[in-house]
């Protein structure tokens, strides 16, 4: 019997994870090679940290960050402007019935890691952790 994956607490399905990783690799390669016909976008070195795909595989949210963290708003605007071309390129690498809609968000993972590291360096927190 198939496992019911409709509960959000179960996390993403294997298929969602596989499709998300394929989209992440494709976007990373395309952006690294400068395959998009937009010189403004090609000026940036963009890291695609993660892609989360909705359960129905119709929406893919890519978490991105420009190298050095500079120009974040510009990068999001440029990616949105080139969303159609990026979607066409991604769809060539997928064997899905429908190509997912691409959405772009800033990846704040590194910022959160820095905040956590700073928190653990505080004397009162270090004292609590060591005891």
The alpha carbon torsion through 20, 97, 92, 64 (nearest 10 deg) reads: -30
Name, in order, each residue with C-beta under 8 angstroms of 104's C-beta and a sequence gap of 6 or more. 61, 62, 64, 76, 79, 80, 83
Q: Which backbone phi and psi does 53 adopt, to 5 degrees?
A: -110, 140
Ordered by where they begin, the domains of the chain are 12-130 (3.30.300.20)
Tens digit of pLDDT per residue, the chain (131 long)? 444 444 556 789 999 999 999 999 999 999 999 999 999 999 999 999 999 999 999 999 999 999 887 889 999 999 999 999 999 999 988 888 889 999 999 988 755 555 556 666 667 766 776 76
Q: Are 36 and 87 in contact (CB under 8 A)?
A: no
The three-class DSSP label of residue 96 is coil
């Amino acid at each position: 019997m198939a496992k019911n994956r409709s509960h959000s607490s179960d996390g993403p399905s294997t298929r969602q994870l596989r499709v998300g990783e394929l989209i992440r690799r494709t976007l990373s390669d395309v952006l690294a090679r400068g395959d998009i016909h937009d010189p403004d976008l090609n000026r940036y070195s963009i890291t695609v940290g993660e892609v989360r795909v909705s359960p129905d595989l119709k929406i893919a949210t890519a978490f991105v960050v420009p190298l050095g963290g500079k120009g974040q708003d510009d990068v999001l605007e440029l990616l949105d402007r080139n969303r159609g071309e990026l979607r066409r390129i991604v769809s060539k690498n997928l064997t899905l019935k429908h190509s997912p809609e691409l959405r772009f968000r800033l990846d704040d993972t590194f910022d959160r890691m820095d905040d956590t590291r700073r928190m653990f360096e505080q004397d009162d927190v270090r004292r609590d952790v060591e005891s």
